[in-house]
Amino acid sequence: MKLELSPSTSLVDGGIVIPVSALNRTISALLGQALPLAWIAGEVSNFIRAASGHWYFSIKDDCAQIRCVMFRGRAQYAQFSPRAGDWIEVRATVAMYEPRGELQLNVETVRRTGQGRLYEAFLKLKGQLESEGLFAAERKRTLPLHPRSIGIITSLQAAALRDVLITLARRAPHVSVIIYPAPVQGAEAAARLSTMIGIANHRAEVNVLIVCRGGGSIEDLWVFNDESLARTIASSALPIVSGIGHETDCTIADFAADVRMPTPTAAAELVSPQHAALLNDLSYRYTALARSIVRMMERRAQQLDWLARRLISPAERIMRQRQHLQQLSLRLCSGVARLVQSTRAQLTILQLRWQRSRLDIERLAECSQYLWYRLRDVLRRKQEHQCARVSALAARVELLSPRRTLERGYAAMIEPHSGAPVRALDVLNPGQCVIVHLAHGSADLGIAHVQPRLDQEF
């Protein structure tokens, strides 16, 4: 490929001086020809969705990483939105962003192939600690409303420390700040952070702790996914606010902390009461208290005037009480007299009513004797009448008795098996036995012959 010379290209000492823009344009063209559209696999990090709709992120493996851009026209048709830690495959071309001379992939299509190893480890540890109740809401500590001292655990070289200090100086210059320096990246960072949390709890010189760090990739923030650090944060006696990374960044320390804020500045704003707001609130409360005291004094003065008008001398009070006592005595005497008179009148009325309703015992005895004699005569006559009736009924019963019929020469035949009386010839058979009842005794008879019915009436 030939290098196109621009008007600004010049010759110096027999050589060609190439502008940077021409060089970058040439490299971009060479890359487009040498590396066709291909699929590249890697783990997502530093994913940003711009306001324009474009996606900016990086993909990496164990040895290298490369920046990627997916423009809005392609991103709007993607089936999912990648997140940091996702393992994806992108169909892209290699290109150079000429204004900045940066190599990048222009992504046309993205598809998910799995999650990165770090993100898988993050999810596994999060699930384990969550099952142990380390992230439970009931164990979260309440932040102090007006802290007297605030502790900050971060690196002295971190930009987040400067942002937190500026925010605290602006909002709460009256609150003292103590910094517990610890690295926020590296192999020993998690142990140092845990040590500083323990020192802050041992000294007990602050009311709340801020653990903060600026944004970065998942590798940069991996120190805050340490299990021992999470357990130290959860067991801290001091309430801890986490302000790690940007709003999209999330670590195990955020879940273990009592409150998680999206940025270090937001964490500083949360724990620091605004100085101007406190002064305004104090002024308002002072004014309200002064008004309340004035109203109370006015009310007490009015009450004092009313009591002064009611105040009388002891001699006059005794005289009034004596007059009141005399009135009560007269009322008592007149009431007792009226009660005695009323009681006597009621007693007289009751005596008259008793005399009128008193029974004449002698007359009642004579009447009772007379009634007894009448009742005895009636019962005797009733008994005689009933005896005569019974005798008549007995005579009639005796007259109609079956025994009288048998005494007139009749006999009663009974079938021995069923005990039923024999009333017709058709139930008798020759050789059959029957029981015959007579007026005096009974006999068992055998049937020798059955004659037809005779039309003769007895």
Kindly report which listed range (87-91, 227-231, 287-291, 364-368) carries the lowest average pLDDT score: 364-368
Q: What is the pLDDT of residue 274?
A: 72
Rounded to the nearest 10°, the torsion over CA 21, 22, 23, 27 is 100
pLDDT digits (tens, 9 = 90+) for 19-54: 888 888 888 888 877 788 888 989 999 999 998 889
- Nearest residue to 54 (alpha-carbon basis) of 37, 79, 71, 35: 71
CB-based burial, 372-389: b 16+ in 10 Å, e otherwise: eeeeeeeeeeeeeeeeee
Question: Using alpha carbons only, how large is the chain's radius of gyration in Å?
Answer: 62
Q: Where are the domains of the chain?
A: 35-115, 132-273, 280-334, 406-446
How far is Cα 28 from Cα 3, in angstroms, rounded to an integer?
12
Q: What is the pLDDT of residue 120?
A: 75
Q: What is the pLDDT of residue 457?
A: 47
The domain made up of 35-115 has a fold known as: OB fold (Dihydrolipoamide Acetyltransferase, E2P) (2.40.50)
* Token couple for 381: 């006559």
3-state helix vs strand vs coil in the chain, percent to 5 = 50, 20, 30
Q: DSSP states of 175-231 as a string? A: SEEEEEE--SSSTTHHHHHHHHHHHHHHHT--SEEEEEE----TTTTGGGG-HHHHH
132-273 under CATH 1.10.10.10, yes or no: no
Q: What is the pLDDT of residue 203?
A: 92
241, pLDDT greater than 90: yes
With H, G, I as helix, E, B as strand and everything else as coil, classify residue 136: coil
Q: Which helix (H) or strand (E) holds 144?
A: none
State the angle between helix axes of 227-234 and 189-203 in degrees (0 to 180), rounded to the nearest 10: 10
Confidence grade of residue 5 (pLDDT, cut at 50, 70, 90): very low
Confidence grade of residue 320 (pLDDT, cut at 50, 70, 90): confident
146, pLDDT greater than 60: yes
- Global pTM? 0.45
For the chain, percent of residues with pLDDT exceeding 70: 93
pLDDT digits (tens, 9 = 90+) for 401-413: 777 777 777 787 8
